């Protein structure tokens, strides 16, 4: 007698598993480089979220499995087109092993598109629409091209410096700024690219998308939640910069030059950012309830 999960495993499931396994084998080198780089490469720590994305996608698909697979159908034409587009994306690209993580972008994007195509091929357009959010998060597996990454880091670096200047002024701390350099009475700091906070900004963005999907119903509520991510990330980063600068200037320079607070101080501030983010989720949900967005779900739960 077969196990219950095995009894539900049919031809289309086997076909999908075969296709995805084939793609993993085919793209093994860029996949291995991206995942190991996101975990162990200190120069690519802004991609540390990549290793969690597959598990997050699988969890979200599991939550909606009943709705996703309530109506399935073969869609070989559309699925094949999407897989062909995915295969064409990585044609002619250089060997990713010889480059940095951003050189893997075409190959990883190709892998993601082909996985989407395999899902469409085996389960149809209706299932793809229902599973769209969970599958779309796979896009966060794709490393940014260097031009895009530099632009994002530069924006966050400049914005953090501007916010830090405002915070210094609000606290009444005398400081002279020249570009990314802040000169205090006894200490000078430089807001480097490593201080841009891109890693926490990406983590907050992914968290806001997932929280909005799980807890909010309105489009405006979800967009409103995502819209606070960038200002929140900038303010969080500015607080960390100013806090370390004040400690280095008025207590001990080692707070910046060599301290656990400098290396890991972003963790408690990031935790506070999550508190702010989920407080916004709670407020937006309350507003949605006033407009009746959750009444239908509540009536189903009571029934």
Give the up-direction half-sphere exposure of residue 202: CA atoms within 13 A in the CB hemisphere.
22
**Structure token digits, residue 271:** 């935790």
Kindly report, residue by residue over 91-101, the tens digit of the pLDDT: 766 555 555 77
Residue length of the chain: 303
* Under 8 Å between Cβ of 255 and 244: yes
**pLDDT exceeding 70 applies to what percent of the chain?**
86
**DSSP type of residue 99:** S
**Structure token digits, residue 11:** 């031809």
**Residue 297: what pLDDT?**
53
Residue 233 pLDDT grade (very low, low, confident, very high; cuts 50, 70, 90): very high
Q: Which of 14-23, 167-176, 243-252 has the largest mean confidence?
A: 14-23
Kindly report, residue by residue over 160-218, the tens digit of the pLDDT: 999 999 999 999 888 898 888 888 888 888 888 777 788 889 999 999 999 999 999 99
Where would I find the H helices in the chain? Answer: 4-7, 11-26, 28-40, 53-63, 65-68, 76-89, 105-130, 132-136, 146-171, 198-215, 219-227, 229-250, 254-257, 260-264, 266-290, 295-302
- Its pTM stands at 0.87
**Residue 42: what pLDDT?**
58
């Amino acid at each position: 007698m077969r196990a219950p999960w095995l009894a539900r495993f049919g031809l289309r499931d086997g076909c999908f598993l075969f296709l995805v396994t084939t793609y993993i084998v085919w793209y093994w080198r860029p996949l291995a480089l991206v995942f190991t780089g996101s975990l162990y490469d200190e120069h690519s720590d802004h991609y540390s979220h990549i290793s969690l994305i597959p598990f997050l996608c699988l969890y979200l698909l599991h939550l909606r499995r009943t709705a996703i697979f309530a109506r399935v159908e073969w869609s070989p034409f559309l699925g094949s087109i999407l897989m062909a587009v995915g295969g064409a994306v990585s044609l002619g690209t250089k060997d990713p092993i010889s480059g940095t993580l951003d050189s893997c972008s075409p190959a990883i994007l190709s892998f993601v598109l082909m996985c989407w195509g395999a899902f469409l091929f085996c389960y149809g357009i209706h299932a793809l629409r229902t599973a769209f959010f969970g599958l779309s998060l796979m896009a966060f597996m794709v490393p940014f091209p260097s031009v895009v990454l530099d632009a994002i880091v530069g924006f966050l670096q400049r914005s953090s410096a501007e916010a830090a200047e405002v915070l210094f002024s609000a606290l009444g701390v005398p400081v002279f700024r020249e570009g990314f350099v802040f000169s205090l009475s006894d200490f000078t700091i430089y807001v480097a690219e490593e201080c841009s906070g891109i890693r926490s900004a990406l983590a907050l963005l992914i968290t806001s998308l997932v929280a909005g999907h799980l807890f909010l119903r309105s489009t405006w509520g979800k967009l409103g939640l995502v819209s606070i991510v960038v200002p929140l990330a900038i303010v969080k980063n500015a607080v960390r910069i100013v806090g370390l600068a004040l400690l280095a200037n008025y207590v001990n320079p080692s707070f910046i030059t060599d301290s656990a607070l400098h290396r890991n101080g972003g963790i408690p501030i990031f935790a506070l950012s999550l508190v702010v983010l989920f407080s916004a989720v709670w407020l937006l949900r309350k507003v949605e309830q006033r407009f009746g967005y959750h009444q239908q779900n509540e009536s189903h739960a009571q029934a």
